[in-house]
């Protein structure tokens, strides 16, 4: 991998989990499951043709979260794989520090897996300090451009959705995939559905509410595998984007190893 400069984008000492309120910056919106580890926001790093300020970005906690770097730029330094999903494949990027040639300041930056949703600047992903989702640092996030602030007066829409949890590129990847069904009723709506990977890990979001401002919220998600239920009463949060063409969000459980980021686009 090429060497690049990410000022302040290091993690010296991790602190106790602290939730971050959803971030709205201009026409960008998103959230992270643990702001003490990973922040999201519009990027403020400019580096020639490599990094661009003003795009969807993230930051890693150092002495305090400040600098954000764009997902698009980081994707150029990441390992790309095409994970199998129900309707074909979906590209996932993985970035891990330290890497060969990296400055010492990048040594504790952690391990990322992230994916672009739709054709605009909308991203979902996960992070942990060493790639182990069971070590307590596992964090999921979503952030992107052109969020919606209203919903249709009526109708149902099916979305092809992917989800990231403990992602591995081996054997075609273990990206979760499935369908969500949104039912719109003007001032409210509902979102239902599930996503599952090739290992049998499944997230069912239960019945989540859709607000009049296109915000998704719920508290009845369940994580399971072939052995049965792993976690229940998970919190669902997210939003619709690009005139309801896309959606993105996350599911959070008491045990954060099951936390999952999700995103999808209207099914053809």
Determine the distance from the C-alpha atom of residue 38 to the mean position of all C-alpha atoms in its chain, rounded to a whole number.
Answer: 11
Q: What is the pLDDT of residue 146?
A: 98
Could you give the 3-state DSSP secondary structure of residue 76?
Answer: coil
Confirm if 134 and 257 have CB atoms less than 8 A apart: yes
Q: What pLDDT sits at residue 108?
A: 60
Q: 23-266 has which fold?
A: Porin (2.40.160)
Q: How far is CA 111 from CA 20, 95, 96, 121, 131, in A?
A: 20, 6, 4, 21, 5
What are the angstrom distances between the C-alpha of 43 and each of 29, 32, 73? 13, 15, 10
Tokens of 207: 């019945």
Residue labelled with tokens 């890693």: 60
State phi, psi for 75 to the nearest 5 degrees. -60, -30
Residues 194, 201: contact at Cβ < 8 Å? no
From first to last of its 268 residues, the chain has per-residue pLDDT tens of: 333 333 333 332 233 334 457 999 999 999 999 998 999 999 987 776 677 889 999 988 753 456 788 999 989 889 999 999 999 999 999 988 644 444 444 546 789 999 999 999 999 999 998 899 999 999 999 999 999 999 999 999 999 999 999 999 998 899 999 999 999 999 999 999 999 999 999 999 999 999 999 999 999 999 999 999 999 999 999 999 999 999 999 999 999 999 999 999 999 8
User: What does the alpha-carbon distance between residue 29 and residue 49 come to, in Å, rounded to a whole number?
Assistant: 24
Contact 160, 265 (CB under 8 A): yes
Q: What is the pLDDT of residue 45?
A: 78
């Amino acid at each position: 991998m090429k060497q690049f400069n990410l000022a302040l984008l290091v993690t010296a000492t991790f602190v106790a989990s602290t939730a971050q309120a959803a971030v709205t910056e201009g026409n960008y919106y998103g959230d992270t499951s643990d702001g003490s580890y990973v922040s999201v926001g519009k990027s403020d790093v400019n580096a020639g043709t490599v990094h661009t300020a003003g795009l969807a970005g993230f930051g890693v906690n150092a002495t305090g979260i400040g600098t954000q770097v764009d997902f698009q730029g980081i994707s150029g330094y990441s390992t790309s794989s095409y994970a199998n999903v129900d309707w074909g494949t979906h590209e996932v990027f993985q970035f891990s520090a330290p890497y060969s040639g990296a400055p010492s300041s990048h040594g504790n930056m952690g391990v990322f897996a992230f994916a672009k949703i739709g054709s605009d600047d909308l991203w979902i992903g996960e992070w942990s300090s060493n790639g182990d989702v069971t070590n307590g640092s596992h964090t999921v996030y979503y952030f992107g451009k052109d969020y919606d602030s209203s919903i249709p007066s009526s109708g149902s829409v099916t979305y092809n959705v992917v989800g990231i949890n403990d992602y591995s590129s081996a054997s075609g990847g273990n990206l979760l995939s499935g369908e969500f069904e949104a039912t719109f009723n003007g001032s409210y709506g509902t979102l239902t559905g599930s996503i599952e990977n090739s290992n049998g890990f499944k997230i069912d979001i239960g019945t989540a509410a859709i607000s009049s401002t296109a915000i998704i919220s719920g508290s009845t998600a369940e994580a399971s595998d072939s052995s049965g239920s792993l976690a229940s009463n998970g919190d669902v949060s997210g939003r619709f984007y690009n005139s309801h063409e896309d959606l993105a969000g996350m599911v959070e459980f008491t045990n954060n190893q099951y936390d999952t980021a999700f995103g999808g686009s209207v099914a053809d």
